[in-house]
Chains A and B, each alone.
Chain A
Amino acid sequence: MTGAETLAQKRPVSVAVSPWRPFLPLVWLALFGVLALLLAVAVGSVAIPPAELWAVITGEGSSLHNTLVWELRAPRALAGFATGGLLAMAGALMQILLRNPLADPYVLGVSGGAAVGALAAMLAGTGAFLLSGSAFAGALLSTFLVFGLAHGTGSWTPARLLLTGVVVASGWGAVITLMLAVGPKDKLPGMLYWLMGDLTYAQTPWPALVLLVLVCLLVIPLGRSLNVLARGPLQAAALGVAVRPLEWTIYILASLLTALAVTTAGSIGFVGLVVPHMLRLVLGNDQRLILPACALGGGALLTLADTLARIVIAPEQLPVGVITALLGVPTFLVLLYRSR
Chain B
Amino acid sequence: MTVLETRELIIDIPERADGRPLSFRMEPGQTWGILGPNGAGKSTLLHTLGGLNQPRSGEVHIDGTSIQKLRRSTIAQQLGYVFQERQDGFPATVLETALIGRHPFLSPWQLEGGDDLAMAEKALDRLELRALENRPVSTLSGGERQRVALATALTQNPNIWLADEPTNHLDLRHQVAVMELLSEQAKAGSTVVMCLHDLNLAARWCDHLLLLYPNGEACWGESESMLQPGALENLYGQPLAKAEVDGAPVFVPSYK
Contact = CB atoms under 8 A, between A and B. Distances in A.
Interface of A: 2, 4-5, 7-8, 10-12, 15, 19-20, 95-96, 99-101, 220-222, 224-225, 227-228, 230-232, 234-235, 237-242, 280, 284-286, 340
A155 to B, nearest CB: 12
Contacts of B136: 2, 4, 340
B113 A237 contact: no
A32 B75 CA distance: 43
A239 B104 contact: yes
B160 to A, nearest CB: 11
A240 B75 contact: yes
A221 B107 CA distance: 9
Contact of A224 (B47, B76, B80, B103): B103
A228 B86 contact: no
A224 B96 CA distance: 11
A234 B117 contact: no
Interface in B63-106: 71-77, 79-81, 83, 85-93, 95-97, 99-101, 103-104, 106
Contacts of B114: 12, 15
A225 B113 contact: no
A40 B81 CA distance: 52
Contacts of B101: 239
Tier of interface size on chain B: 35 or more
Closest 4 CB pairs of A and B: A240-B76, A232-B87, A221-B108, A240-B73
A227 B91 CA distance: 11
A238 B52 contact: yes
Given A225-B103, A230-B90, A231-B100, A237 B72 contact: yes
Contacts of B88: 231
A235 B81 contact: yes
Residue among A222, A238, A241 with the most chain B CB within 10 A?
A238
B109 A285 contact: no
A247 to B, nearest CB: 13
Residue among B73, B90, B104, B112 with the most chain A CB within 10 A?
B90
A235 B86 contact: yes
Residue among B50, B52, B71, B89 with the most chain A CB within 10 A?
B89
A241 B103 contact: yes
Residue among A12, A100, A240, A241 with the most chain B CB within 10 A?
A240
A240 B101 CA distance: 10
Given A227-B100, A228-B103, A231-B97, A2 B91 contact: yes
B103 to A, nearest CB: 5
A4 B97 CA distance: 11
Given A225-B103, A237-B52, A19 B92 contact: no
Nearest to A96: B90
A244 B135 CA distance: 31
